[in-house]
Amino acid sequence: MGRVIAAGLLAGLVLNLGEAVLHGVIFAAPAAQAMKQLGHDIAGSGASTVLGGDLGCLMHIAGRLVRTRAKVEARHVAEVLAGMTDEPAIAAPKQKR
């Protein structure tokens, strides 16, 4: 799988989903800047995969990585522990079978 980082550790913040959504609505511009910086930090980390435990956060992170064409997969930690990494990562293009 290559080098893996945990999204929560990289962000340096622990927010529950409700707090993150509220923060994003009230402080839209700073939240957008923070996501831009987080995407830049993840892409520059050398990791091939970013793991997280909150699907909402992972969807935002994955969307940012896809839009910037970063070569980093976003996956839920349970997905990795269950050995389901043969499926496309979050927000990844579907593979033709």
**Is residue 92 included in any domain, yes or no?**
no
* Model pLDDT for residues 63-74, shown as the tens digit of each residue: 999 999 999 999
**Is residue 9 included in any domain, yes or no?**
yes
Report, in angstroms and rounded to the nearest whole number, the Rg of the chain calculated over CA atoms. 13
Its domain, for residue 9, covers: 4-81
* Model pLDDT for residues 4-14, shown as the tens digit of each residue: 555 554 444 44
48 pLDDT tier (thresholds 50, 70, 90) = very high
Q: Which two tokens stand for residue 35?
A: 């996501």
Locate all alpha helices (DSSP H) within 1-97, ordered by sequence: 7-11, 17-26, 28-44, 55-67, 77-81
pTM, 2 dp:
0.71
Q: Chain-centre distance of CA 77, in angstroms?
A: 11
**Is residue 14 included in any domain, yes or no?**
yes
**Is residue 13 included in any domain, yes or no?**
yes
Residue with tokens 């043969």: 86
| DSSP category for residue 48 | S
